[in-house]
Structure 1
Amino acid sequence: MESRSRFRGLTPCALIPPCALLLAAAAAPTLADGLAGKLGTGQSDFGGVGLMQTPTARMAPAGTMSVSWSRTQPYRRYNVFFQPVDWFEGGFRYVEVENREFVAAGDGRANLDKGFDMKLRLLQETRYRPQVALGFRDVGGTTLFGGEYLAASKRWYNLDVTLGLGWGYLGNQGDVDSPFGWLAERFDERPGRAGGDQGGEFALDALFRGPMALFGGVEWQTPWQPLVLQLELEGNDYANEPQNNDQEQDSRVNLGARLALSDNLELHAGWQRGNTAMAGLTWNVDLAGLSQVKRDPAPADPAAPPRESWAAVSQALEENAGIAVSRITREGRDITVTGEPVTYPSLMHSEVRAGRILNAQADDEVDRFRFRWENRGLPLREGVHSRQALVAAAGTEDREGDHLHGIYAHAELRDSARAEVLHESRPQRFQWALGPRLDQNFGGPDGYLYRLMAVLEAEYRTDRNGWFSGQLAWTALDNLEDYEYIADSDLPRVRTFIGDYLAEATLGIESLQYTRTAQLGDNWYAMGYGGLLEMMYAGAGGEVMYRPFNSPLALGLDVNWVRQRDFDQRFELRDYDTWTGHLTAYLETGIEDVLAKLSVGRYLAGDLGTTLDLSREFASGARVGAWGTWTDAGDDFGEGGFDKGLYLSVPFDAMFTRSSRDRAEVAWRPLTRDGGATLDRRYNLYDVTEERDLGGYWDEHSGAWD
């Protein structure tokens, strides 16, 4: 997996290794009833819900991530598939071809092919109608195993039956000629190589071309619930395998079984082609339902004795309510707390906890508590609570509704000159953290690469709007000597020097910069920065953003001048410098909680183009997304023709017993190339101003009393 944040070669996950992220997710509650050993939910050998070699029309529950491995000689398949919405499944795989050499490397290693699949549900199953899906296999890779299909699945009691029509790899049996030949002669023949000369492009020129074959099968949920048996009819004949790697097929009927080892861990095995054994393993994670029982400090008693000072109240607000207070003021019957959220993902939770603390301190004349939220000195919004309703709701569940209906939130208002300042504090000047990090990369021509590091992060706040920040990384263990750049491109090497950066320095400065923010108007924000901006680039830049309160639309513009850093990651610079920047539109589509980001601008190699990023955030806070970048680099882009990838962002709050606003991100891109490369800015205004969006603020009210 390769990173799309911070730097473009490996996968940083804050200060925890990606494997720890997965282990923590495994420890958290997953699918309520589990998918392992359940009818119609198994992953195929290729990944994605299916039988063995063939897909079905079935889908996993929305929010499911399935990681699987299978081996059917001479193929080993490693698959990661996501179900972001009920009607769409997407994922990627690597296929290791054991008896074919990776020619470009020239060192005898096995060939490794990568591919992308997607499946669309066309019809839902009813009592009389099957579920119908349209799918595309290996549509975005080299298309060595490319194929399209239309599948229908119907369940009767303990049987789930599928019948499908396949083209390409799924249609090599050629049961019938192309059904679309009457439209145009080109549909009669399928191209021998699709996806562009270098692979990686969407193989639109091959879709539904060539002969067609029937495929299908049946699954039986046995009386022993953990076991599902399978019978499958293949559409492939193994006489047209990629790289002239044809295999003998004694039968197109396959037999298999799936056995649940736990609720979400499943073993699968089978007998395929009439002569070859298959074995595999699948692990399912319910990203939508990730949660963890919390062991946070108990909420304060609203009837507790007053604290000795408002400074003590400020400390309690940070420790118990997760508010880093900058100011507490009193005006008339209102007490206002201004500060940054530092602990709880839900501002509602922080406000309710803070209201309990304020009630114990305020005199009887105070009627309302106001919470003015800011981040990095930028005012974002205000939440207003009735004191009486909040205290009543803290005492009995029956009064929670009265409190909820009395809350309102709006764009932040500035303090009146008449307000009495009860307490004012300066931001915590210096903060630091030291921890391990595992950066890793797999699926490229170099096989699995890793780097185990100790990372020291530090930050010094000069004031509410400005701060110095830096990262120092020491490599304890790695195998980066295996990295070799073998691509062919005339673009400036803006990212493909990554191996040199990673291998050159055992101790390196990953970033060291000064950042400053400002509010330009009611809905306008700005940020400027300069220094060592990331592992590979130093320079200066700025960003301006227009983000109305609780609006689905935001617009941002960043402009940066950067110069390439020396490989030792100290303070020396190389000769290459450039201007880069993008105009970006952010849109909460209102469809399945999907966020769309569209960027247009100039990339690090000087190429011009656009990036489209689509992602969905679930109730747990986990986010799944995909992006693609298309530029005018043309053939110089390198293998694949455009940049693309998938990513998973998981909140620590969903994995650990203490509340947290931190996140870990794991991203996958097929290859590191120089086209479409962006500057990995450490801070961006859309994230800094995220609380301008109310999100699920009102829905979080009931959980605030736990």
Structure 2
Amino acid sequence: MNRLINFGCSFRYILIAIAIICWWLFNSSYAQAASPSNSGLTGLWEYPTAEILGDGIGWFGYNETYPYNQVYITLGYLPNLEINLRATNFLNSPLISPGFGHYKDKGFDVKYRIKEQEGIYPSIAAGILDISGTELLRAYFIVGTYRFDNIAMSLGWGSDRLGGVYAGIEWQPYDWLTLKAERSSMDYTYDYAGHPDYEKIEKDEDYNLGAIISTPWNLDFNVSYQRGEEVCIGVRYNFDLTKPIFDGHKDRLKGLPINDLPSWDEIDAKSMATEIANKLATELPIKDIQVFVDERKLLITYENVGYSSEAEAMGRVLYLVSHIVPWDLESISLVPKVRGTAISRVDIPGEHCALLRLNELRKEYVADSQAYFLNPKEQSGISGDEKWAFSVTPTEDIKDESKFKVMPVYELRALRGQEDYYMDRTSLDFIYEWNPDYEKDRSKKGTAAIVDIRMPLYNDIELDYQPYMNDDTRIWRAVYSIMHRVDTNTFEVGEVGWLDQTWFGVNYSRRTYFQNGRWWMGLKAGIVHERDPYSFASLSDYRVSYGDLDQYIEYGANEGWWTVGLLQAGYRYPELDFEVSVDAGVYADGNPGGTVTFIRRWDDLGIGLWATRTNHVPEGEDFTNSGVYLEIPFDTWRGTRSKHIWRQKARIQGWFDPYSGREADWWQGPDQLWGQLNPDRLLNNLYKELEQGQSMAKEMKYSMQEGGNTYVP
């Protein structure tokens, strides 16, 4: 691009001028907000600062900063830790092909804040750019940032392409406007684009400056003037994983008066229990409801069929019940089930119902409650020698023994082919789910099944290493599953059938939990056979070729049935809902190896990072494959009620050996079935749900009316 303007003053005079203006406005009180650098990490323009996105806060965006276009997603993954995944398009590289365009590169960056700002001492952070993958843009940095009011000043040092010492300033004069300027020491000869076959990158000036415009819709736009010659633009969307994405407004509980409630002695307990059971059955998507009653105590069992979050389902049950029970209730216990099997129990003091009615229940009060796994013999939810006076069930309950649905499916492939940068396929899935009436036929407890037929409608995905991405209608999944509780802390689940798009066979998993679900040990085993990717349901008579990989794998007749055997262990940090797990054993290709997975969850939404190492390791790498794992609930979206969670384990970096580290997917594995009902996890998520504006009552307003307070939507 041509040079647009040539500034005559040096960068230091720009900094002095901005500093004087900032000092003049020092006492102004504006919102303070960090912003991303070109690549996505919180920073200036080309450089990171020591500021970190808040836990669960993130943004995704696009920047056009010639010679690069960058798409990124950045997240405050843990306290003081920020991660960034990006794709970089090198515009100064020669065209690889008419369809694929310029060279493109995937990168992963991390930044850790060593210390927060305190007194006169700045916050300090260090990090690594391009920590895995091609490492073409690899660099290390350390930086300090001092923020006072609406001004932040940074000084740092970066290796390799970052070029040494850098400095910059950020000023937010208004809520909607942020100004940033930096002194750059970037050395572009370290970039992949510095190769002789590429257009040489030069810069006319060592400064970058520009502005960010914020909008009320979580969209921000930026324009900057970089290297003394380029006008650069970008856009980003800000999100908060602790809240529903796009402000997902779910249906609210209606018609819940909070007039002065009677005492226990003033009510008919059986009528109250019947009212609770019927309201739960009609107001909420739960089934198999039973209400047990004794003197000033309640116990409610149910199965969630409509919320991706078990904590939200329980929170809604508690909220509804709290507006019916007497004010002097002693305790309430809630017992969620899965496939007719009671998993865990939560005991809550009765006064928490009163606090909930007043919208004054806070997550700190979780210390007054307790949760624990139930003994398999206590399937009614009743522990030990407990006695209850009577129980009631709803007049009408949800019976969904079978369910048929048609679901559109959109699949995309980006940065995967030599001819097309972006490919996609649109299909229709015809799905039949079978969930027997477990209360009516107790012999079927723990069982369920699914048949999913996928019919492609439009397909421009042509990847020889993914032969199942074709236009043939076929069984995508057809599984019979059974779950069984061995004892109080041990669960097992097995599946048989067409497990996913590539395997037919059997999956088995067993887990034992310790310290109330804090950590676990188990195993996973499987016997699988490759499917014919071009057949409706047949098994393959040959070893499926995933591209031209003869240099790595000797293809021949199909080896028949393959076996998988993995020992597993995991530890969960309850305060952060952060889990570390390790698998070790033999994968489907017969090679030994292991996988390490880190996954952070915000209730029903999860983001994980994983790496697998087997005998096949790319030269110079420490792992065979690595990538991300996603759990995205469907009812995240506005106005949607669904228990479905979209799960995807995606390879991002590493050697493409299609057989290394392979194992069959699950339809409903251990984490899907009972993971959210882990006692520690469930209890903490429940109180977080309740505190978030009393989330199931959010946007409700109360007006004083004659006779007491009444809910007004």
> TM-score with structure 2 length normalisation?
0.75
* Pairwise CA distance, 1:134: 0.8
Cα distance change on mapping 1:603 and 1:40 into 2, 3 Å: same
* Pairwise CA distance, 1:635: 3.9
Cα separation, 1, equivalents of 2:359 and 2:211? 50
**Which letter maps to 1:592?**
L
| 2:434 is equivalent to residue 460 of structure 1 | yes
| 2:501 is equivalent to residue 540 of structure 1 | no
Residues 271-350 of structure 1: matches in 2 within 5 Å?
A: 271-290=225-244, 292-298=248-254, 316-325=279-288, 337-344=300-307, 345=309, 346=311, 348-350=314-316
Q: 1:593 pairs with 574, 577, 583, which one? A: 577
| 2:188 is equivalent to residue 238 of structure 1 | yes
Cα distance change on mapping 1:604 and 1:240 into 2, 3 Å: same
Cα separation, 2, equivalents of 1:159 and 1:427? 60
Cα separation, 1, equivalents of 2:181 and 2:202? 20
| 2:162 is equivalent to residue 170 of structure 1 | yes
| 2:576 is equivalent to residue 581 of structure 1 | no
**Which letter maps to 1:676?**
G
Contact 2:314 2:334 in 1 (8 A): no
Cα separation, 2, equivalents of 1:307 and 1:568? 60
Residues 637-676 of structure 1: matches in 2 within 5 Å?
A: 641-657=623-639, 660-665=642-647, 668-670=650-652, 673-674=657-658, 675-676=660-661
| 2:678 is equivalent to residue 692 of structure 1 | yes
Instruction: Report the 3-state secondary structure (helix = DSSP H, G, I; strand = E; otherwise coil) of the residue aligned with 1:278.
Output: strand
Which residue of structure 1 aligns with residue 441 of structure 2? none
Contact 2:634 2:646 in 1 (8 A): yes
Instruction: Report the 3-state secondary structure (helix = DSSP H, G, I; strand = E; otherwise coil) of the residue aligned with 2:469.
Output: helix
Instruction: Report the 3-state secondary structure (helix = DSSP H, G, I; strand = E; otherwise coil) of the residue aligned with 1:69.
Output: strand
- Which structure has more relative contact order (CA 8 Å, sep 6+)? It is 1
| 2:341 is equivalent to residue 378 of structure 1 | yes
Cα distance change on mapping 1:334 and 1:249 into 2, 3 Å: closer
Cα distance change on mapping 1:142 and 1:658 into 2, 3 Å: closer
Which residue of structure 2 aligns with residue 176 of structure 1? none
Runs of 5+ unmatched residues, structure 1 = 1-36, 172-212, 361-365, 486-495
**Which letter maps to 2:484?**
A
| 2:7 is equivalent to residue 41 of structure 1 | no
String of CA shifts for 1:287-309, please: whole Å, max 9, x gaps: 22335444234376799999999
Cα distance change on mapping 1:648 and 1:511 into 2, 3 Å: closer
| 2:117 is equivalent to residue 154 of structure 1 | no
Cα separation, 2, equivalents of 1:259 and 1:367? 54
Cα separation, 1, equivalents of 2:241 and 2:225? 33
**Which letter maps to 1:237?**
D
Which residue of structure 2 aligns with residue 206 of structure 1? none
Q: RMSD in angstroms over aligned alpha carbons? A: 3.9
Cα separation, 2, equivalents of 1:617 and 1:540? 28
String of CA shifts for 1:259-312, please: whole Å, max 9, x gaps: 224453222222222222322222211222335444234376799999999999
* Pairwise CA distance, 1:411: 3.3
Which residue of structure 1 aligns with residue 222 of structure 2? 268
Instruction: Report the 3-state secondary structure (helix = DSSP H, G, I; strand = E; otherwise coil) of the residue aligned with 1:46.
Output: coil
* Pairwise CA distance, 1:132: 1.3
Cα distance change on mapping 1:165 and 1:412 into 2, 3 Å: same
Q: 1:259 pairs with 190, 213, 218, which one? A: 213
Cα distance change on mapping 1:226 and 1:332 into 2, 3 Å: closer
Contact 1:296 1:657 in 2 (8 A): no
**Which letter maps to 2:242?**
A
Which residue of structure 1 aligns with residue 19 of structure 2? none
Contact 1:91 1:116 in 2 (8 A): yes
Cα separation, 2, equivalents of 1:614 and 1:565? 31
Cα distance change on mapping 1:149 and 1:583 into 2, 3 Å: same
**Which letter maps to 1:502?**
M
Cα distance change on mapping 1:667 and 1:285 into 2, 3 Å: farther
Cα separation, 2, equivalents of 1:390 and 1:253? 58
| 2:472 is equivalent to residue 502 of structure 1 | no
Cα distance change on mapping 1:468 and 1:623 into 2, 3 Å: closer
* Pairwise CA distance, 1:355: 4.2
Which residue of structure 1 aligns with residue 487 of structure 2? 521
Cα separation, 1, equivalents of 2:122 and 2:369? 47
Aligned length: 605
Which residue of structure 2 aligns with residue 114 of structure 1? 106
Instruction: Report the 3-state secondary structure (helix = DSSP H, G, I; strand = E; otherwise coil) of the residue aligned with 2:135.
Output: coil
* Pairwise CA distance, 1:464: 2.3
**Which letter maps to 2:644?**
D
Cα separation, 1, equivalents of 2:330 and 2:153? 64
* Pairwise CA distance, 1:357: 9.8
Contact 2:253 2:320 in 1 (8 A): no
Q: 2:373 pairs with 411, 426, 439, which one? A: 411
Cα distance change on mapping 1:69 and 1:395 into 2, 3 Å: closer
Contact 1:293 1:657 in 2 (8 A): yes
| 2:689 is equivalent to residue 680 of structure 1 | no
* Pairwise CA distance, 1:563: 0.6
Runs of 5+ unmatched residues, structure 2 = 1-29, 437-443, 542-557, 698-713
Cα distance change on mapping 1:214 and 1:42 into 2, 3 Å: same
String of CA shifts for 1:89-129, please: whole Å, max 9, x gaps: 111211112242476x7976311111111111112112311
Identity %: 20
Which residue of structure 2 aligns with residue 431 of structure 1? 403
Cα separation, 1, equivalents of 2:149 and 2:120? 13
**Which letter maps to 2:608?**
G
Cα separation, 2, equivalents of 1:399 and 1:159? 37
* Pairwise CA distance, 1:591: 5.7
